[in-house]
Amino acid sequence: MKTLVCIISGLITLGTSTAQNSNNKTSGSASTSSFGRNIIAISPVQLMAMKHLDSQDNTDAGIYISYERISANEYFGFKLPVSFSLKSPYYYFMPALKIYPFKQGPVKFAFGPQFYVATGEFEYNYTSYDYPVTQNITQKFDRTQVGFLINTSVNFTVLQNLYIGLEAGLGINYYDSNADNSKIYYENYYYNRGNNGNFYPALHGNFSMGYRF
């Protein structure tokens, strides 16, 4: 919880300072758009499938917060989202470059590249059939994943400062620190079969609301 509060505070401070700098630079001249160039948003649920899809428990859900800064020409935006898993101590850092083909407006489509680094603790459950005893065993491992997505989104600026966003991404998970972990037992899952040279699908999506200024 302390980490979440610190990151939210940092995003608000960053957004406020950039907005003040922008206002100082553009004072005395007309703005090219009536919409703000800073967006702070939060999503109560971010859905993710960034574990290898043939592994155990491949989906995840988390709380998502982000800060986006839109360029002066209104064609580009740099977005810094952070997600916290609701299922385990696992964190996703997902910077994205957003390309707006038609600049800014009340409803605008964007697309662009997005990278992610996911890190935290991975919990692995399996059943040991050591006759005549059957045991349910839980193992915990540190884990890091790296991947790439193509992000697509739609921004809705309902009021002057009220932002609503829909976002989805499709890409590849090309590194998993546990890909060749021999301590992960159950042979029917990916971890005893795969290697880091293989690419596996990665997915994410969310609905968010926030403040635009």
The confidence score (pLDDT) of residue 121 equals 86
Domain assignment present for 42? yes
The confidence score (pLDDT) of residue 140 equals 80
Residue 35: count other Cβ atoms within 10 Å of its Cβ: 21
Rounded to the nearest integer, the mean pLDDT of the chain is 78
Q: Are strands 162-176 and 133-157 parallel, antiparallel or unpaired?
A: antiparallel
pLDDT per residue over 113-162, tens digit each? 999 999 998 776 667 666 676 777 777 888 899 999 999 999 999 888 99
Phi, psi of 36 (to 5 degrees): -65, 160
Domain assignment present for 149? yes
Q: How many domains does the chain have?
A: 1
Confidence of residue 56 (pLDDT cuts 50, 70, 90): low
Indicate whether 18 pLDDT > 80.
Answer: no
pLDDT per residue over 182-196, tens digit each? 666 544 444 444 444
Domain assignment present for 30? no
Residue 204: count other Cβ atoms within 10 Å of its Cβ: 26
Comparing 74-88, 107-121, 169-183, the range with the smallest average pLDDT is 169-183
Domain assignment present for 26? no
Confidence of residue 198 (pLDDT cuts 50, 70, 90): low
Burial of 201 (0-12, 13-18, 19+ CB in 10 A): middle
Indicate whether 208 pLDDT > 80.
Answer: yes
The confidence score (pLDDT) of residue 80 equals 96
Contact call for residues 60 and 50 (beta carbons, < 8 A):
yes
Domain assignment present for 28? no
The confidence score (pLDDT) of residue 28 equals 37
The confidence score (pLDDT) of residue 84 equals 92
Higher pLDDT, 35 or 99: 99
Tell me how long the chain is: 213
Residue-range definition of the domain harbouring residue 115? 2-21+35-212
Indicate whether 201 pLDDT > 50.
Answer: yes
Dihedral over Cα of 79, 120, 8, 27: its sign: negative
The confidence score (pLDDT) of residue 159 equals 85
Domain assignment present for 96? yes
Confidence of residue 70 (pLDDT cuts 50, 70, 90): very high
Domain assignment present for 119? yes
Cα–Cα nearest to 43, from 94, 78, 113: 94
Contact call for residues 94 and 82 (beta carbons, < 8 A):
yes
Q: What percent of the chain has pLDDT over 70?
A: 68
* Distance set, CA 198 to CA 60, 89, 142 (Å): 21, 26, 21
Stretch 52-63: mean pLDDT: 70
Task: Report the CATH number that the domain containing residue 58 is assigned in CATH.
Answer: 2.40.160.20
Domain assignment present for 6? yes
